[in-house]
Amino acid sequence: MYGIPDGNQSIAISASKRAESDFKAPLSTTVLDGSRILRSGATNVPEALRLVPGLIVREVSNGVYTVHIRGIDNVPPLNRPTTLNNRLILLMINGQSMYDYFDGGINWSALPVSVENIDRIEVIRGPASALYGTNAVQGVIHIFTRKGTASRALEISTNQGSSGLSTLQGAMEGLLNDTSWRFSGFRNERDRHDEQYYIYADQQYRSAININIPSAQGNPFPEPDRAMESQGLSLRLNNPEEYIFHYDIGLTHQEASSHRMYLYDETPLSDTRERSNTLNARVQYGQVDFRASYQDGDSETSGLPDFTTQKKNTQASIEYSYRLPHWVIRPGISYEKSRYRSDYLGGKKTLETRSALLRSEYRPTPEARIVAALRYDDYRRPSDGYFSYQLLGSYALDPQNLLRAGVMTANRSAFMTTHYLELQFPVPGVPDRQINIESDPEAELTKGISYEIGWRSLLQFNHWFEIEAYYTELEDFSAYVNQGTTNIGGTDIDRRVLQNLPVRAKQLGLMFNWGYEGVSWDITANASWQDTRLHNQPDNLSSPLSTSDIDSQSTPEWYGGIDISWRPHPKWDLNSQMYFMKSYALLAGTPDPLYYSPSRWILNLSARHTFSTGVTGSMGVRNLSNSDSPQSHYTDPTDPYLWLGLQVRWED
């Protein structure tokens, strides 16, 4: 009305570190609004991420997931099923990295946030290390949680369903002078559909009481019926963003336990627990942006007491935004330190990174934008520095059509199990035989480069599509390679040494995303196609390595989804979300390395009814599918479940 574009645009911050329309974002970006997440009936973050194009979300156990962006990862290392977890995504909550530096990746069950407390999720597909540093190799998932509002409010919501689904969330918020506050808490529970575990050696599922896992000390599965439970508390305090001095402080506590793909070699699932306390603070003074966070926590795995780990993570950064006509220049420095203490690691170990970055954005004409960003990460382990960069260009053919192209690089960080491990242990049940595991502190870090072109078009203010094509290469994967057996002093010693693999993964992909909004309904649909080839893929992990070129089958060739929302009456909101994945074959270093997953579609249906202002009821069914076979490597089968929900909000 006021001369603002009418198109279906959301505000994206993560792609340029400042607010812009997602239509104009220079990177492949999707913004998922909190209200859309709730409308879809999603009860946790990975379920919500199935609404985002280009994401592969696989269920490991009920409510426990792995998430991959575009899927050119977890392919080359063959040593353990853990490598099927994604280690190349950077997940941030309000700017704080949630990366697990012990074994790499993200524990999606232990996020200190419930879907009801999410304001929006921004997803960047493709490398973004030049913006956010290490581990943003395949992309960034950035969760923004809700802030307090000016009015005093109390909200409570719950979902109860079959398969032990139980969620409870509560929040209070208000304004104290200029400070808005929001205090929230949640608890989520899910039961496993089946109490059995797959045993690689037996090549079949067995009941928990019949399992013999040689490496376990004690009971590896004390709660075989429980898939996951998590709970958390958070407090957020902030003054208005418009102030010259703006602060935004978050305190969180979370506890979670879940069956996830983690440490055991004999069976895909491990029963893990994690606790953490976090302080995350952002202070802005004019154009200076300072952020610091501290996380203190511990984690343990049932049956593996040596793996009990205490962690302390510190992150700090300061950036300055300098504006001129045509230009925005953003220099900055950052520091990150991760300390893990564990018997498995042989005591306290530290990873430390110092970084400097410079991002510059130049607009030669109102239609054109050129972005160049360069970042240097100086690692303590390996004692090496890595440059990452972005060179992006976009051009608006007219206000309804935007073309963009870019080349981006990124690299992964070191983590404890690759750069700090020195283990010597006897082989259980085999006398005079020992396994030595030797990490390489100077192993090269996995790095990649991606080339992208994209076209976004607003056919009308309520009708849009985007198409993008990309080509990505990754190299410097590492894995523990068996060096053979040597006899020293009458003991046979198997040496497994971390080394970089010669493999080079190459992926070509296309993504199509389309949306239409009507008066009482809207629809979005997306589909991604990819082809991944592995050059010099080791045939096995024994030295000397023999290699061959293969087509990777671990990522579905096609995947995507269709989301339809219909509001037949102002008080009713009906939602149908279908997610589909073509067949894939996951490869891991196990006795039966190949797991074949058939093509499947998964349908989630939900209905919401507003009884009165602030009182909403909902119900739905999730996981209707043509296949109940496990979605990940010999993990739990998936079953449909029904749920009922109630959301109440009182406001002054």
Partner 1 sequence: MNRLLLILTALILALSGQVLAKNRCESLVLSGGAHLFPYFFHSSDALPDRIDSSTRAMLSRRHGSVGDTVLTALSRAGIAGHVAPPKPWRRMLLEVSRGQIDIIAGALKSDGRQDLLEFSDVIDYSEFHLFVKSKDSFTYRHPEDLKGRRGVKVLGMSFGPEFDDFAFNNLTFEEVPEYSSIFRMVAAGRAFFTVFHRESGGRLVRELGLERDLIMLPNIVAQEPIYVAYSKKSPCQSELAQVRKEIRMMKKKGEIERISSYYQQFLEVNSNREPGIHILVGENR
Site string for partner 1, 354-393 (x = CB under 8 A): ---------x--x---------------------------
Shortest Å distance, C-beta 21 to partner 1: 6
Query: Judged by CB, which is closer to partner 1: 209, or 519?
Result: 519
Shortest Å distance, C-beta 240 to partner 1: 6
**Longest distance between any two alpha carbons in the chain, whole Å:** 84
Which of the residues 471 through 510 are near partner 1 (CB under 8 A)?
Answer: none
Which of the residues 420 through 459 are near partner 1 (CB under 8 A)?
Answer: 458
Cα angle value 611/614/615 (rounded, 5°):
35
Interface residue with partner 1, options 214, 222, 240, 568 (CB under 8 A): 240
Interface residue with partner 1, options 203, 217, 243, 430 (CB under 8 A): 243
Identity at 575, one-letter amino acid code: N
Can you spell out the DSSP letters for 180-197?
EEEEEEEEEEEE-S--EE
Query: Judged by CB, which is closer to partner 1: 16, or 276?
Result: 16
Site string for partner 1, 323-352 (x = CB under 8 A): xxxx--------------------------
Identity at 385, one-letter amino acid code: G
Residue 24 CA to residue 32 CA, distance in Å, equals 16
Is residue 437 classed exposed, middle or buried when 0-12, 13-18 and 19+ CB atoms within 10 A define those classes?
A: middle
* Burial track 24-56 (b if 16+ CB lie within 10 A, e otherwise): bbbbbbbbbebebbbbbbbbbbbbbbbbbbbbb
Query: Judged by CB, which is closer to partner 1: 7, or 133?
Result: 7
* Window contacting partner 1 (CB under 8 A); options: 32-40, 319-327, 525-533, 596-604: 319-327
Q: Using the rule CB under 8 A, is 398 a contact of partner 1?
A: yes
Q: Using the rule CB under 8 A, is 6 a contact of partner 1?
A: yes
Say how many residues make up the chain: 652
- Count, residues near partner 1 per rule CB under 8 A: 34
* Cα torsion angle, 504, 447, 47, 417, sign: positive
Q: Which residues contact 229 (CB under 8 A, 6 or more apart)?
A: 187, 188, 189, 190, 256, 257, 258
Query: Judged by CB, which is closer to partner 1: 242, or 652?
Result: 242
Shortest Å distance, C-beta 372 to partner 1: 20
Residue 631 CA to residue 107 CA, distance in Å, equals 17
Interface residue with partner 1, options 218, 244, 488, 489 (CB under 8 A): 244
* Window contacting partner 1 (CB under 8 A); options: 385-393, 396-404, 468-476, 638-646: 396-404
Look at residue 109 and give its three-state secondary structure: helix
Q: Which of 55, 53, 116 is nearest to 91 (CA)?
A: 55
- Give the pair of three-digit tokens for residue 613: 């202002």
In the beta sheet, which residues pair with residue 402? 396, 456
Q: Using the rule CB under 8 A, is 2 a contact of partner 1?
A: yes
- Give the pair of three-digit tokens for residue 330: 């953003």
Q: Using the rule CB under 8 A, is 242 a contact of partner 1?
A: yes
Q: Using the rule CB under 8 A, is 567 a contact of partner 1?
A: no
Q: Using the rule CB under 8 A, is 518 a contact of partner 1?
A: yes
Shortest Å distance, C-beta 370 to partner 1: 15
Shortest Å distance, C-beta 7 to partner 1: 7
Q: Which residues bind partner 1 (CB under 8 A)?
A: 1-7, 9, 11, 19-21, 240-244, 286, 323-326, 363, 366, 398-400, 458, 460-462, 517-519
